[in-house]
Amino acid sequence: MKKDIHQDVYIGIACAALCVVIFFMNHGLPGGAGAMPLLLDAILAVLSVVIFVGGLRKSKLPAEERKGEKKAFTLDAVKIPFIFWLIVAGYVLLFYVTGYFVATAVMMIVMMLFMKRKDWKTMLIIDVVYLVIMYFVFVRMLGVNIDGFGLLGRLF
């Protein structure tokens, strides 16, 4: 019978891999600068092993005891949040081209559509009201120069 490996086994391996990366980043730093990061890295490595061993133990549990267990990375559980994150990343990258206000006007609607909103009137009202408030609060009152950011922003 094929054994279902508990997710903590993979999480433990990923954590240990992270520890190796951290070790090489801090190894050989002069003047005692690497002491604290290396000490913390060693603690992380021990905890990674504990997570890994815990995962192995959980893998051996009978199927009935593992019924209610939530899996961290099923496609269903992470697909929507990751797509949403990519939309947000696209929104941030759009700042560099169009500036904050144009990017927000477009991407807020895109995000609302992704969140299954269909009432265009409400979406447009929220979009416009948000942009007006942000302009007056951040640009005019707080002096944040976000309006001058991005290729389009520099033109004005």
Partner 1 sequence: MLQNILLGFAQLASWDVLLALLIGTAGGMIVGALPGFSAAMGVSLLIPLTYGMNGTAALVMLTAMYTSAIYGGSITAILCHTPGTPASAATAIDGFQLTKQGRGMEAMGVATVSSAIGGTVSAIIMLFVAPALGKFSLKFSVLEYFLLAVFGLTVIASLAGENIVKGLFSGVLGLLLGCVGLDALAGVPRMTMGNINLEDGINFVPALIGLFSVAQVMSLAYDVHHGKTGSVIEDEENLKHSRVLPPWKETKTLIPSQIRSSLVGTIVGIVPAAGAGVSSWICYSLGKRFSKHPEKFGHGAMDGVASCEAGNNAATGGALIPLITLGLPGSSVAAILMGGLMIHGLTPGASMFTKNAPTTYGIMVGFLIANILMGLIGLFAARYIARVSSAPMGLLGPVIVCLCCIGTFAIRNNMFDVLVMLVFGLIGFVLKRCGFAAPPLILGMVLSDICENNWRRTLILAGAKGGLFKYFIGRPIAIVLFLLVLVSFLSPIIMNAVSKKAKSSALEK
The CA-CA-CA angle for residues 24, 27, 33, to 5°, reads 130
Distance of alpha carbon 33 from alpha carbon 41, whole angstroms = 14
The least distance separating partner 1 from the CB of residue 98, rounded to whole angstroms, comes to 13
Look up residue 35 and give its amino acid.
A
Instruction: Let me know: does 4 contact 59? Beta carbons within 8 Å.
Output: yes
| Residue numbers 69-88 binding partner 1 by CB under 8 A | 72-73, 77-78, 80-85, 88
Instruction: Let me know: does 111 contact 91? Beta carbons within 8 Å.
Output: yes
Selected from 6, 98, 100, 153, the binder of partner 1 by CB under 8 A is: 100
Binding site for partner 1 (CB under 8 A): 7, 11, 15, 22, 25-26, 29-34, 36-37, 40-41, 43-44, 47-48, 50-51, 54, 72-73, 77-78, 80-85, 88-89, 91-92, 95-96, 100, 104, 107-108, 111-112, 114-117, 122-123, 126, 130, 134, 137-138, 141-146, 149
